[in-house]
A and B are shown apart, each in its own frame.
Chain A
Amino acid sequence: MSWIDIGQIDDVPERGARVVKTPLGCVALFRTAPEEVFAVSNTCPHKAGPLAEGIVHGNKVTCPLHNWVFDLNTGQAVGEDAQIDTYPVKLESGRIFLDGTALGKRSAA
């Protein structure tokens, strides 16, 4: 693993999300509670809706385009045979870290 400091937890609104551009495409960083974050692919497998724009509830997000619901823990779509990628993320002293290796970066420089 190679942890990369992405920013501060307060840059992401509670029950909201921000996007991170990565070599693997856009990753959505969700903040579900004051100290709880998830990183998943930003792209809905249905028709490529931007998941970071969806409404966040519990540990789930609803796609803004046609309301598919995804569990952020597993990436599984609720009631649909579909899945989004999930990525390792950690919180330390209020800063958010993503794993560069999992995101296809050669080094964490």
Chain B
Amino acid sequence: MKQKLVIIGAGMASGRVIEQLLEHAPDAYDITLFNAEPRGNYNRIMLSPVLSGDKTYDEIVTHSDAWYAEHGVTCRFGEKVLRIDRENREVEGENGTLSYDKLVVASGSNPFIIPLPGHDLEGVIAYRDLEDTERMMTMTEGNRVVVIGGGLLGLEAAAGMAARGADVTVIHIMGHLMERQLDEAAGYLLKKSLEEKGITVRVSANSKQILGENGKVRALQLDDGTELPCDLLVMAVGIRPNIALGKEAGLAVGRGIHVDDQMLTSDENILAVGECVEHDGAIFGLVAPLYDQARVAAQTLMGEAATFVQKTLSTKLKVTGCDLFSAGDFAEGEGREDIVFRDPARGVYKRLVIEGDRLVGCVMYGDTADGNWFFGLIKDATSIEDMRDTVIFGPAFQGGAQSDPLSAVAALPPEAEICGCNGVCKGTIVEAIQAGANDLGAVKAVTKASASCGTCTGLVEQLLQVTLGDDFQMPTVQPVCGCTDLCHEDVRRLIKSQELKSQAAVWQELGWKTPNGCHVCRPAVNFYLLADWPLEYRDDPQSRFVNERKHANIQKDGTFSVVPRMWGGITNPGELRAIADAAEKFGVPTVKVTGGQRIDLLGVKGEDLPAIWADLNRAGLVSGHAYSKGLRTVKTCVGTDHCRFGTQDSTGLGIKLEQMLWGSWTPHKVKLAVSGCPRNCAEATCKDVGIICVDSGYQVGVGGAAGMDLKETERLLDVPTEQEAIDVTVAFVQLYRESAKYLDRPYKWVAKVGLDWVRERIMDLEERRRLIDAFELSQTIYRKDPWAEHADKSRDFAPLADLTLEAAE
């Protein structure tokens, strides 16, 4: 006699169970299939092509009504199972009770809805079934949609609706899209191609609440206050195994319904398959393992021995129109090594993760043709020892191509500006070369490119090489570090001309050879980005040396020094008292007067920093940036206020300059001094900018040094008024910020670009104004006391946990 098999859920997993049973043991069971959705099994993963209009629902039906009828499966579709009664072996459906001999739970999972205020408004949906899809299909031109979640599903939803003409914004909480499957570089490329499709993507964005009107969604509000108006809000932030029925029936559950290797639950008559199960600690969200589970479950039902084994997963991801692939384990493992290949010209990124002599993971974007070959290497644990150097080029290139250091320049469009001084773009230079200008001198003469400050010389030479090939002998340049073949100047120019506004963009478009740089290039790139794009780029503390991250100088014993600002070297009893109090309160071992006219508290413990800052802040003292590649001190002498020789208010000018410039980041540190007369008591002639006051006005000198090199300043300009002295100084500092190489003090930079060039720029009043405005724009963000911003973050400075306490008991 046939046994009674009841199945809860007509999804992709149970569909496969039924097919297997019908094929191998058609007479074993009488099957009844419940499904909450008012239809049978369809290919859920094809909902996206339905959404985008590439397929119709009919085309993705796996089992039609006729198919169920033909195979004698009793269908109870549109009927939810409410309860499992294990004692009596019955399930209770909405339309009546039914007994079983064997039961299969295949209830899939539920989309997770973030319980934001407003999540229950009309027009807030998930992306799981045909109803959701049909709802999204009504979004066309003129409709605005917000998708929360930059994972696979969210992006599929976004791409689908964008293809129908809707105005779509994706909100993602992490720093890059699909952070589980992709690394930063691939995430950056994905974002870029979505943006090219007209989708707005906001990463590192936190949702605060959903705003409604008459019970219907109106907008999403982010925690920074931004409101994104929308007609539909799709939440695609993850799934939770649907375990309610199993849990209520008393089956063993964790995150999912527990099953053993035979897909049996804790009840021997009940099996479970699909996204609702938990096997050996793992839960599932892709169909490949579910099909394996289904096969095992069918065999168990037929009384055959079978074992479910979890396998390495490869995901051939298919965000509509974007070519990406990720496989294996690129996020964890012992003793691993990366191989990175980037081809900026084709928008290709490949990263292999190797452990010993095996490939363990791989992420690819833009060219995934070799994905399955790599996946094979991962799955079979093939030794790649013999092809280690070339494996990244795929099977076709064994022994072939090398990454091309020139590809970043080759990839530039003709209109990309190469020479910033003279506004010469790539097309003009290439034309000149093709017309016979076959060395640097000739290009300079014909186009004026690299004829001024010369920082674009490297790029012009690369264009000569790209255009002339072996006919041009490239001089060797000193690359930034082992992560790239480009030198600092090239990186700077390319950041400007290609409008690269994130570190991931720099790594990818300029062909970085490591996944995310190193301690040499990261601080440099971080500076270039924040100097060039003060509004768009956000400073990355993790790309800064400890001193700039902790806003204090690290000492050889791991403690820190704290130097409050004393504007122009002027202080007062109140400040001195606050410093004295702080020194006592925090047990500061050494208090020293520095060479920069202020007081250094040396030996402060890292976790005390926020507290000592808070105390100093209360007395009006702010960070002296004694740790920064930025403005340090402005030394002054007493000037006209007290000195019988003083010609101008040198102290006052020093204070004004310090208040203008403080907080700004520069390629290296910047120190100023203002002396009231040529006796020069403030030692202005060895500073980055040194001003000597004279009867007729102000002599502004630049490019002095008194550190590892000793150098006298050179006169930049003499100006009659204090305001002009300030203007010239600010313009000089901004020009330095815009064009110097990271870690070149001004004197080194001036030596490279030439004082004449600097002077020309600053004497040009239009350019001077532009420089001052650019500086001020940047200062709207950076002229802030970092101590005040961190004084309430004492948690971040303390140990994460203290495990010594309990042990001492």
Instruction: Please determine whether B803 and A57 come into contact, CB atoms closer than 8 angstroms.
Output: no
A residues 38-95 touching B (CB-CB < 8 Å): 47-50, 53-60, 62, 64-65, 67, 69, 71, 73-74
Instruction: Please determine whether B546 and A7 come into contact, CB atoms closer than 8 angstroms.
Output: no
Among candidates A12, A50, A58, A62, residue contacting B516 with C-beta atoms closer than 8 Å:
A58
Among candidates A6, A33, A47, A49, residue contacting B801 with C-beta atoms closer than 8 Å:
A6
How far apart are the CA atoms of A23 and B802 in the complex, in Å?
9
Instruction: Please determine whether B800 and A19 come into contact, CB atoms closer than 8 angstroms.
Output: yes
Size category of the A interface is 35 or more
- Nearest A residue to B517, CB-CB: A57
How far apart are the CA atoms of A19 and B798 in the complex, in Å?
8
How far apart are the CA atoms of A10 and B183 in the complex, in Å?
18
How far apart are the CA atoms of A64 and B517 in the complex, in Å?
16
How far apart are the CA atoms of A102 and B542 in the complex, in Å?
29
Instruction: Please determine whether B800 and A12 come into contact, CB atoms closer than 8 angstroms.
Output: yes
Stretch at the interface among B174-182, B381-389, B614-622, B768-776: B174-182
How far apart are the CA atoms of A80 and B802 in the complex, in Å?
31
CB-CB under 8 A from A33, the residues of chain B are 179, 183, 331
Instruction: Please determine whether A34 and B179 come into contact, CB atoms closer than 8 angstroms.
Output: yes
Shortest distance in angstroms between A59's beta carbon and chain B's nearest beta carbon?
Answer: 7
CB-CB under 8 A from B522, the residues of chain A are 55, 57
CB-CB under 8 A from A56, the residues of chain B are 542
Q: Is B104 an interface residue (CB 8 A)?
A: no
Contact flag A64-B800 (CB < 8 Å), given A33-B183, A105-B807:
no
Instruction: Please determine whether A20 and B807 come into contact, CB atoms closer than 8 angstroms.
Output: no
Q: Mark contacts of B530-562 with chain A using CB atoms, 8 A cut-off: 1 yes-contact digit, 0 otherwise.
A: 000000000001111110011000101110000
Size category of the B interface is 35 or more
Among candidates A13, A19, A64, A74, residue contacting B334 with C-beta atoms closer than 8 Å:
A74
Instruction: Please determine whether A73 and B175 come into contact, CB atoms closer than 8 angstroms.
Output: no
Instruction: Please determine whether B800 and A18 come into contact, CB atoms closer than 8 angstroms.
Output: yes
Instruction: Please determine whether B331 and A58 come into contact, CB atoms closer than 8 angstroms.
Output: no
Instruction: Please determine whether B800 and A67 come into contact, CB atoms closer than 8 angstroms.
Output: no
CB-CB under 8 A from A18, the residues of chain B are 799-800
Shortest distance in angstroms between A96's beta carbon and chain B's nearest beta carbon?
Answer: 8
How far apart are the CA atoms of A2 and B264 in the complex, in Å?
30
- Nearest A residue to B353, CB-CB: A59
Instruction: Please determine whether A109 and B801 come into contact, CB atoms closer than 8 angstroms.
Output: no
Contact flag A22-B800 (CB < 8 Å), given A36-B332, A65-B556, A73-B333:
no
Contact flag A21-B801 (CB < 8 Å), given A34-B179, A58-B338, A62-B519:
yes
Shortest distance in angstroms between A61's beta carbon and chain B's nearest beta carbon?
Answer: 9
Among candidates B175, B515, B546, residue contacting A58 with C-beta atoms closer than 8 Å:
B515
Among candidates B335, B545, B558, residue contacting A74 with C-beta atoms closer than 8 Å:
B335
Q: Is B523 an interface residue (CB 8 A)?
A: yes
Among candidates B519, B801, B807, residue contacting A57 with C-beta atoms closer than 8 Å:
B519
Q: Is B804 an interface residue (CB 8 A)?
A: yes
CB-CB under 8 A from A104, the residues of chain B are 807
Shortest distance in angstroms between B2's beta carbon and chain A's nearest beta carbon?
Answer: 43
How far apart are the CA atoms of A40 and B800 in the complex, in Å?
14
Among candidates A26, A55, A109, residue contacting B543 with C-beta atoms closer than 8 Å:
A55
How far apart are the CA atoms of A72 and B802 in the complex, in Å?
22
Shortest distance in angstroms between A67's beta carbon and chain B's nearest beta carbon?
Answer: 7
Contact flag A7-B799 (CB < 8 Å), given A14-B175, A58-B515:
no
How far apart are the CA atoms of A21 and B807 in the complex, in Å?
11
Q: Mark contacts of B337-357 with chain A using CB atoms, 8 A cut-off: 1 yes-contact digit, 0 otherwise.
A: 010000000000000000000
Q: Is B806 an interface residue (CB 8 A)?
A: yes
Q: Is B518 an interface residue (CB 8 A)?
A: yes
Shortest distance in angstroms between A52's beta carbon and chain B's nearest beta carbon?
Answer: 9
How far apart are the CA atoms of A4 and B801 in the complex, in Å?
10
Among candidates A15, A62, A103, residue contacting B803 with C-beta atoms closer than 8 Å:
A103
CB-CB under 8 A from A26, the residues of chain B are 799
Contact flag A23-B807 (CB < 8 Å), given A55-B543, A64-B554, A65-B554:
yes
Q: Is B514 an interface residue (CB 8 A)?
A: yes
Shortest distance in angstroms between B415's beta carbon and chain A's nearest beta carbon?
Answer: 34
CB-CB under 8 A from A71, the residues of chain B are 335
Extra 10 A-B pairs, beta carbons < 8 Å, given A22-B804, A33-B331: A7-B800, A19-B800, A21-B799, A50-B554, A55-B519, A62-B518, A73-B335, A73-B336, A98-B803, A105-B806
Taking Cβ atoms with an 8 Å cutoff, the residues of B that contact A are 174-175, 179-180, 183, 331-336, 338, 514-519, 522-523, 541-546, 549-550, 554, 556-558, 606, 799-804, 806-807
Can you list 16 A-B pairs, Cβ within 8 angstroms, ordered by A?
Answer: A7-B800, A15-B543, A16-B541, A18-B800, A19-B800, A20-B800, A20-B803, A21-B801, A22-B803, A23-B807, A34-B179, A36-B331, A58-B338, A58-B518, A106-B807, A109-B806
